[in-house]
Amino acid sequence: GAVVSQHPSRVICKSGTSVKIECRSLDFQATTMFWYRQFPKQSLMLMATSNEGSKATYEQGVEKDKFLINHASLTLSTLTVTSAHPEDSSFYICSASRAGGARGYTFGSGTRLTVV
């Protein structure tokens, strides 16, 4: 089945630094990937849609200059949290759909970011 790999699984960084999270589709090509954020006891919230070879589409309220998304190939999308602050601490998850909307998503294993 479709496999999405996300790295790192856990990261702790100092306030003001930047963190890059990678999301790879291992056995399929994903022209579109999605980045979600999940705070404790809350639902997944879509942050942005990452499109291969073009600019990402950000959801309302998500700062594009703070959350940089690069989707340079059909199998890799990266999310960089720039100048991280403690309030950015969250669970970040990427996902991709192998066959459009018909079969749902495959999610990466998530990245737990803690900013201290």
Residue 100 touches another protein, criterion: CB under 8 A: yes
Residue 28 touches another protein, criterion: CB under 8 A: no
Phi, psi of 87 (to 5 degrees): -70, -10
Residue 97 touches another protein, criterion: CB under 8 A: yes
Residue 107 touches another protein, criterion: CB under 8 A: yes
Q: What is the CA radius of gyration of the chain?
A: 13
User: What type of residue is 60?
Assistant: Q
Q: What residues form DSSP beta bridges with 13?
A: 115
| Of the candidate residues 112, 113, 114, 116, the single one contacting another protein (CB under 8 A) | 112
Q: Give the three-class secondary structure for 87.
A: helix
Closest Cα partner for 84 from 28, 11, 35?
Answer: 11
Least distance from another protein to the Cβ atom of residue 106, Å: 8
Least distance from another protein to the Cβ atom of residue 17, Å: 23
Residue 102 touches another protein, criterion: CB under 8 A: yes
Question: What count of residues does the chain have?
Answer: 116
When the beta carbons of 18 and 42 are compared against another protein, the nearer one is 42
- Binding residues for another protein, rule: CB under 8 A, are 32, 34, 42-46, 49, 91, 93, 97, 100-110, 112
